[in-house]
């Protein structure tokens, strides 16, 4: 199954994708993570992406698609995967369809208000090594400033500043939000409220997926 997570920055896509990986075993494919890795490793695609990231806009479709294709070709994706942050434009949705189906496709719109996003991202800290996500108030690391998973010092992403967050929200509303109507028309879109705690959001997604994947009742109320 191909699971697509749509939603504004800070809507919980990364957290939900990680939970789905843990529950169902689908790999989490985050184009943001792939881009940050390419930037860190200074690959040729990473050098192109670096100049386009950090200001709140999108990296060009060709660069993102090249990274995605390479990742989806790996063995762990052949039984399905969760897409976090792709597609982000109508053109990217066309490219995904052209890649062919990875089994049935289920799409989630994780809905959050702009106010929730601004409040949430100011408190977000991430691990630059394993990309684990923390929240200073709601999900603090066990040792302040240190990743629980791999022990690396946590950072605030340089695009999690209030000015860049506002730009990312504008980009989301202009370029990505139109995808909601597209998938609604396709008939495979499920809307989940992302304004509350992440556990409730994960439960909302699992309530849809559990029966589809033959695990009735696992998500709870
Ligand atoms: P994310 O980690 O999903 O918030 O992505 C961080 C940044 O990477 C975004 O603000 C974009 O600049 C870039 N990015 C991630 N995914 C895409 C995509 N599918 N298309 C274009 N740019 C992307």
Residue 133 lies in a domain: no
| Nearest C-alpha neighbor of 190 from the set 45, 16, 15 | 16
**pLDDT tens, residue by residue, 14-72:** 999 999 999 999 999 999 999 999 999 999 888 888 878 878 889 999 999 999 999 99
Residue 14 lies in a domain: yes
Residue 119 lies in a domain: no
Strand, coil or helix: what is 111? strand
Q: Quick one: which atom of ligand 1 is closest to the CA of 36?
A: 8
Number of domains in the chain: 1
CATH at residue 176 = 3.40.50.300
Q: Where are the beta strands (DSSP E) in the chain?
A: 2-7, 28-30, 81-84, 105-111, 124-126, 133-135, 189-193
Q: Do 106 and 188 meet the contact criterion of CB atoms below 8 Å apart?
A: yes
Most confidently modeled range among 80-94, 99-113, 155-169:
80-94
Residue 220: band (very low, low, confident or very high) from pLDDT cuts 50, 70, 90 = low
Residue 60 lies in a domain: no
Question: Ligand 1: which residue has its CA nearest to atom 5?
Answer: 32
- Where does ligand 1 bind, in terms of residues with CB under 6 Å? 9, 31-32, 35, 53, 58-59, 64, 85-86, 88, 92, 159, 168
Residue 220 lies in a domain: no
| Domain of 95, in residue numbers | 2-26+79-114+163-212
The yes-or-no verdict on residue 176 having pLDDT over 70 is yes
Residue 124 lies in a domain: no
Q: Quick one: which atom of ligand 1 is closest to the CA of 13?
A: 3
Report the Cα–Cα distance between both ends of the chain, in Å, rounded.
Answer: 24
Dihedrals φ, ψ of 110, to 5°?
A: -90, 105
Model-level pTM greater than 0.85?
yes
Residue 67 lies in a domain: no
Q: Which residues are catalytic?
A: 13, 88, 124, 157, 168
């Amino acid at each position: 199954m191909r699971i697509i997570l749509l939603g504004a920055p800070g809507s919980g896509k990364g957290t939900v994708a990680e939970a789905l990986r843990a529950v169902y075993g689908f790999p989490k494919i985050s184009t943001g993570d792939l881009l940050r890795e390419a930037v860190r490793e200074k690959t040729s695609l990473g050098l192109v992406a670096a100049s386009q990231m950090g200001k709140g806009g999108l990296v060009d479709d060709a660069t993102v698609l090249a990274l995605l294709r390479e990742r989806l070709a790996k063995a762990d994706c052949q039984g399905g995967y969760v897409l976090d942050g792709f597609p982000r434009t109508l053109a990217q949705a066309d490219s995904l369809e052209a890649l062919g189906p990875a089994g049935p496709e289920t799409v989630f719109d994780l809905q959050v208000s702009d106010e929730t996003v601004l409040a949430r991202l100011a408190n977000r800290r991430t691990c630059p090594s394993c990309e684990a996500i923390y929240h200073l108030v709601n999900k603090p690391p066990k040792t302040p400033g240190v990743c629980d998973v791999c022990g690396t010092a946590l950072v605030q992403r340089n695009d999690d500043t209030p000015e860049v967050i506002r730009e990312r929200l504008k980009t989301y509303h202009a370029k990505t939000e139109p995808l909601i109507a597209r998938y609604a028309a396709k008939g495979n879109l499920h809307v989940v409220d992302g304004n509350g705690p992440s556990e409730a959001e994960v439960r909302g997604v699992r309530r849809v997926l559990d029966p589809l994947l033959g695990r009735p009742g696992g998500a709870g109320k």
